[in-house]
A and B are shown apart, each in its own frame.
Chain A
Amino acid sequence: MLFNSYIFIFAFLPITFFIYFYLNKKRLTEASKGFLVFSSLFFYSWWNIIYLPIILSSILFNYLVGSILSKSSEGAKKFRKKSILLFGIILNILLLMYFKYSDFFIENINFIANTQIDLLKLTLPLAISFFTFQQIAYLVDSYRGETKEYDFLNYSLFVTFFPQLIAGPIVHHKEMMSQFTTKKNKIINYTNIALGLFIFSIGLFKKVVIADTFAVWATAGFDTIATLNLIEAWATSLSYTFQLYFDFSGYADMAIGAALLFNIKLPINFNSPYKALNIQDFWKRWHITLSRFLRDYIYIPLGGNRKGNIRTYNNLLATFIIGGIWHGAGWTFVFWGLLHGLALVIHRLWQSLNYKMNSILAWFITFNFINIAWVFFRARNWDDAIKVLSSMFDFNNIVLSERLTKKLGFLSEYGIIFSNVTEHIGDGSKVLNWIIGAFILLLIFKNSNQKIVSSTLTNIHSLTIMHAMYFAILFMFSILYMSMSSYTEFIYFNF
């Protein structure tokens, strides 16, 4: 079930909300939790019920391993405890590798050894990357003695809670478990409902109005058109850059909004990432909960920055290559991770020189690096990536708007063509206007979390009736737009 579907917005969400609080009102706390788990699994199974046994087995296995780890006393043999943790992590990774990376592995074996092993062609169970990482974190924390003993129902709710199940935010048991057990969260809280509805509306708008509009041009440029002119190539890459942000942050907003209806506060996942002035700053703002996971459970255990510069650089590269391959089984994802790892190494080297860069230049370099790196992230294969990238720098294939012929006609001597600028990917002026609009929206305005959640939490009385009317219009506009949109699925559902 998609957040941006009528069935979710007008049936699943309100029905789940009312039954959950009704059960709580009747003091049937365990039943309410059980109901929320059931609803979440129903939500998950809506796509394909064959995935259900996989997630259930994963939950049961990790709960058992986590319980053993958290029950082991301080004095328990460290070796035994570590062995259990390793067993747990390895099985989680094997599950992920089997479903997500088997074919990638076989393809590479076939390529290197010139063999013809048949691909398994497994369907990737939805959300497997997310719930696997979330549970690995749980196991590590249990090993470290940072988890309390929770019952199976609470644990199941922690993993399956529908707003964050499919594409994050990757939540930490510490920030979730206590919320599920707090008594005051069992009663309807109108402030949270108002905030939840508002932020859900923003997320829906981001997804269906903005991301899905850019999706059309990005898809045309990457997947359909064989050759692009310079402006089309830039429009294609920027369209994807904006699509990805509005799609994923829209999803995160909807997840945060839906969770707030149940008095659960999910961690923010985006904080205006395209305003970042360096790559480190970007990763503090982009997919924050994944960055946190990579830092706490990969980078730091590898040694972080405590073992000298060379080791730090290696750790950064390793962490980001793992981050890249987490997103998808393909060399383009590995390369994307490597690029980001290298950028972070370069950033550290630059920092060590103690030079301060002009902010505008810093933003320009950072944004363009991110935009170019997304080309590898998006492209279905190397050829598509090279097609877009080479066109972005092909100064022999420049097409300018016909409207500029009078003023810049002399440039035709240098091979510049005056025609429909983005003829192949969509209506030229529309594409360019939307790209300019997206830049303005992202660089000048506050993001949805700053605008609503933070400001309201600091001043609970800041919400007004006008807010309600404004967001209702935004919500209904998005609903209307939704019915006309052809793109529906969230990009991160594939990861």
Chain B
Amino acid sequence: MKNKKIVFTFIITSIVLVVLFFSILFIYDPLKVFHKPWMNKEYLQLNMREQAAGIINNWEYDSVILGTSILECTSSKEASNKLGGKFINISLAGSYFFERAIILKYLLKKKPIKKILYSLDTIGLTDTGKSDGTFKIDSWSYLYDNNRLNDFKAYINNKYLKCLFSLSSKRKCFGRKVNFDRPNSWHEFPDQAIRFGGLNNWFNAKENPQIKHAFSMILDSIQNIKKGQIHFDNNLAANIKASEKYIDENLIKYIKQYPNTKFIFILPPYSRIQFAINAQYNKSSFERYKASVRYLVSKSNKFENLLIYGWGNHSFVDNIANYKDPQHFEYKINSWMLDAISREEGLLTSTNIDVYLDIFSNKSLNYDLYDLGNKINNYLNPMKPKKIKGY
């Protein structure tokens, strides 16, 4: 009899421990997945792939900004004012369409969504990647299924359990205080902000990893162009088909399924430097990009709820002062894009797409990368100024 009690004590203690443990996790809930925060209300975790689930589950909104780092600085309040609706910004830095599709699917099922502002980054239009390797899909995708119980998995790891058992109030345990208007915006970070304003500011930040990468990308591309080693693959047609399929699976599918949701797609206005490198060196990628844009625009004829905007033909793209690196522009441009969308400026349709792409291509092909390369070389190697010969 005594041993029967012992067995039941073991079982009951185990059950109590499980219930207690999960109750504490439920209360702690640093990603706000289970409930709106009871404390630390202004705090969010930096990793939006995980954090977005909590925002989707517990915040009030009817429209969503779902971009990459390109849209992280877009103000949701401003978007609400200019485009109508109540926006939240859950942009995922460096995300593929595939990753965002996981969130898109969950989001659209969750409740009726009026508008989705979405960035069509080159990485999505020219690559059919299923994961970028840094953010393993399996490590967060379960937060976006219909099983709420498995969401606890997000907390059963060294990071959060250490936080929990040590009752730590460290930033990593509760996240950092953010402005919900644009939780992961980076435009106010000093090391980012100082790089706007012109090439000299890039030079001043030459140790910055993004600038290092930019310089090496620019110089390598120029070297390769010089050597005639233009990147062009023979499988372009097949790759374009693959991109179309990828777009269908990760974007068009939802556009078709949710006709009452307006999908506002923007082609990020990267700096002309980036477009020029693609046009002059990564030729196959550039052609694939254009083909994907054409494909999407052709779809916008079919689906009224799909709008595609592009400003790659504008002159602000040529001005390096607007950029902190070859891709990322000043937040004022985010603001300007919202205005443009509200007045339908830059809307791409089957009637204007050819003209748009012609201007865009010509500007990108004619941009003087050699001049930029010389400036960078001269700055990096002041003792031996090197002149890269022109075209």
A-side residues, CB < 8 A to B, are 190-191, 193-194, 197-198, 461, 463-465, 467-469, 471-473, 475-476, 480, 483-484
Contacts and interface: CB of A to CB of B under 8 A. Distances in A.
Contact of A191 (B3, B10, B18, B158): B3
B14 A465 contact: no
B17 interface: yes
Interface string B138-164: 000000000000000100111001000
A476 B21 CA distance: 10
B3 A190 contact: yes
A468 B6 contact: yes
A190 B21 contact: no
A468 B7 contact: yes
Nearest to A483: B156
B4 interface: yes
Contacts of A475: 10, 14
A206 B157 CA distance: 19
A464 B9 CA distance: 10
A197 B10 CA distance: 8
Contact of A472 (B2, B17, B21, B161): B17
Identify the interface centre among B5, B9, B156: most chain A CB within 10 Å of its CB.
B9
Nearest to A195: B3
B29 to A, nearest CB: 17
Contacts of A467: 6
Given A475-B14, A480-B21, A463 B3 contact: yes
A469 B156 contact: no
A62 B153 CA distance: 47
B6 A463 contact: yes
Contacts of B6: 190, 194, 463-465, 467-468
B159 to A, nearest CB: 10
A473 B13 CA distance: 8
B157 A484 contact: yes
Nearest to A477: B17
Given A480-B21, A483-B156, A484-B158, A190 B4 contact: yes
B158 A472 contact: no
A471 B14 CA distance: 9
A468 B18 CA distance: 15
21 contacts: A190-B4, A194-B3, A194-B6, A194-B7, A194-B10, A198-B10, A463-B2, A465-B6, A465-B9, A468-B7, A468-B9, A469-B9, A469-B10, A472-B10, A472-B11, A472-B13, A472-B14, A473-B13, A476-B17, A483-B153, A484-B158
Contacts of A190: 3-4, 6-7
Interface in B1-47: 2-7, 9-11, 13-14, 17-18, 21
A369 B309 CA distance: 72
A469 B13 contact: yes
Given A483-B153, A484-B156, A465 B21 contact: no
Contacts of B3: 190-191, 193-194, 463
Contacts of A471: 10
A181 B33 CA distance: 54
Interface string B314-342: 00000000000000000000000000000
Interface in B156-183: 156-158, 161
Contacts of A468: 6-7, 9-10, 13
The binding surface of chain B is classed by DSSP as: helix
A472 B10 CA distance: 5
A416 B14 CA distance: 50
A185 B106 CA distance: 53
Nearest to A469: B13
Contacts of B157: 484
Nearest to B10: A468
Nearest to B20: A476
A266 B296 CA distance: 67
B23 to A, nearest CB: 14
B158 to A, nearest CB: 7
Contacts of A473: 13, 17
Contacts of B9: 465, 468-469, 472
Nearest to A198: B10
B140 to A, nearest CB: 16
A465 B2 CA distance: 9
A191 B21 CA distance: 28
Identify the interface centre among B5, B6, B11, B14: most chain A CB within 10 Å of its CB.
B6
Contacts of A191: 3
A472 B12 CA distance: 9
Nearest to A193: B7
Contacts of B156: 480, 483-484
Nearest to B152: A483
A469 B161 CA distance: 22
A476 B18 contact: yes
Interface string B235-279: 000000000000000000000000000000000000000000000
B17 A197 contact: no
Given A463-B6, A472-B13, 18 more contacts: A190-B3, A190-B7, A193-B3, A194-B7, A461-B2, A468-B6, A468-B9, A468-B13, A469-B10, A469-B13, A471-B10, A472-B14, A472-B17, A473-B13, A475-B14, A476-B18, A483-B153, A484-B158
A467 B5 CA distance: 11
Nearest to B3: A190
A463 B2 CA distance: 9
Identify the interface centre among A194, A198, A467: most chain B CB within 10 Å of its CB.
A194
A113 to B, nearest CB: 46
Identify the interface centre among B3, B156, B157: most chain A CB within 10 Å of its CB.
B3
Nearest to A466: B9
The 8 closest A-B pairs by CB, nearest first: A472-B13, A468-B9, A190-B3, A468-B10, A190-B4, A476-B17, A191-B3, A468-B6
A434 B86 CA distance: 53
Nearest to A472: B13
A191 B3 CA distance: 5
A461 B6 CA distance: 11
Nearest to B157: A484
Nearest to A461: B2
B71 to A, nearest CB: 34
Nearest to A463: B6
Contacts of A461: 2
A327 to B, nearest CB: 34
Contact of A197 (B7, B18, B153, B158): B7
A464 B153 CA distance: 34
A467 B2 CA distance: 12
A35 B17 CA distance: 33
Contacts of A472: 9-11, 13-14, 17
A476 B157 CA distance: 15
Identify the interface centre among B153, B156, B158: most chain A CB within 10 Å of its CB.
B156
A471 B157 CA distance: 22
A458 to B, nearest CB: 15
Contacts of B13: 468-469, 472-473
Contacts of A197: 7, 10
A197 to B, nearest CB: 5
